[in-house]
Amino acid sequence: MTRPIQRPAAQALGRHVLLELYQCPVELLKAGNELEGFLKAAAERMGATVVTSNFHQFSPYGISGVVIIQESHLTLHTWPEHQYAAVDIFTCGEIDLQAGIEHLIQVFQAETADWKLYERGKGL
Amino acid sequence: MTRPIQRPAAQALGRHVLLELYQCPVELLKAGNELEGFLKAAAERMGATVVTSNFHQFSPYGISGVVIIQESHLTLHTWPEHQYAAVDIFTCGEIDLQAGIEHLIQVFQAETADWKLYERGKGL
C-alpha cells in the first residue's frame, strides 16, 4: 500500500494528494472527535503545523472536516453507509506526505486504499 | 475559459475540481473577508448549502480558508507574491460546478485559469 512519492517538478508550488479509504469500519466513520484526532495526528506525523480545525457532523451520519495547517490543509468526508472516507492533503511545504498517508490508511483501518498526487500552481 | 463539465461515471461518489487561478490582483489575494465572500457566493451560485466556514490570514500575507457545504467543501489558498490562488471544490451532490468555477474565475479577476475534474470514490 506504500509507494514512493514522486516529487513534483521544481516549478510546481504545491502538492495535492487525493486519498481514497475503502472498507473502513462503519462506526469509526461516524466518530467525529476521533476522526478529528486522526487528521491532526497525520499532520503531526508529516511534520506540519496545525493552525485550526473545523469538523461538522451530518444527520443521520457522515462527517466533514478540515484541518488548516501552516503548509495548507487536510480535509475529510466520510460516508459510513459506503464504508468510505475521502481525504485530501494540500501542501506547499516540505512535509512528509508519505508518513501522513500511511498513518491515515492505518488508523482508518482501510482494507483498501488508493491515492494520487497532483501538482498545483504548475502554470507559474 | 469555460468548458462543459464531464459528468463522472455512475459509480463515482463525488466530483472534485482542482482550480488554478493565475495572474490575480495582488491586493485582492490578501483580502480575507472579501475572499471568504467569494467562496460563499460561489457555493450559492452552484446551488450548494453553506454549513460553516473558517478563514485564516498568514503573516505577512496569504489566506487559507474553507467553506464546508452540505455537499462537501470548497477550499482556498492564496499566494499574493505569485498572484496565484488554488481552489478546490469537492461535491457529492447534484450542484452546478460550472457556475461556481466561472464565478470564481471572474471575481478573482484571474487572467488565466485552469481546472481539472476528478472522480472520488470510484472504487466503491
Distance CA B119, CA B99 (A): 18
**What's the grid cell of residue A14?**
504545491
Distance CA B87, CA B36 (A): 12
Q: What is the distance in angstroms between the Cα of B64 and the nearest Cα belonging to chain A?
A: 7
CA-nearest of B30, B31, B74 to B52 is B74
Q: What percent of chain A stands above pLDDT 70?
A: 91
Distance CA A77, CA B68 (A): 10
A chain contacts of residue B90, beta-carbon cutoff 8 Å: 75, 77, 86, 88
pLDDT tens per residue, range A55-64: 999 988 899 9
Distance CA A118, CA A105 (A): 19
CB atoms within 10 A of CB B58: 16
Cβ B77–A64 below 8 Å, yes or no?
A: no
Q: Is the ipTM of this complex over 0.85?
A: yes
pLDDT tens per residue, range A66-99: 999 999 999 999 999 999 999 999 999 889 999 9
Pairing outcome for strands A84-91 and A112-120: unpaired
Annotated active-site residue B72? The verdict is yes
Q: What is the pTM of this model?
A: 0.91
Cβ B13–A82 below 8 Å, yes or no?
A: yes
Q: What is the distance in angstroms between the Cα of A117 and the nearest Cα belonging to chain B?
A: 12
pLDDT tens per residue, range B19-62: 999 999 999 999 989 999 999 999 999 999 999 999 999 988 89
Contact by Cβ (8 Å): A80, A63: no
Give the per-residue pLDDT at B2.
47
Cβ A22–B79 below 8 Å, yes or no?
A: no
Inform me whether the pLDDT recorded for A4 exceeds 60. no
Give the per-residue pLDDT at B93.
85
Give me the residue label for grid cell 467553506: B67
Inform me whether the pLDDT recorded for B8 exceeds 70. no
Domain boundaries, chain A: 23-119
Specify the CATH number for B23-119; select among 3.40.1400.10, 3.40.50.1000, 3.30.2000.10, 3.60.90.10. Answer: 3.60.90.10
Distance CA A78, CA A58 (A): 10
Rounded average pLDDT over B10-18: 86
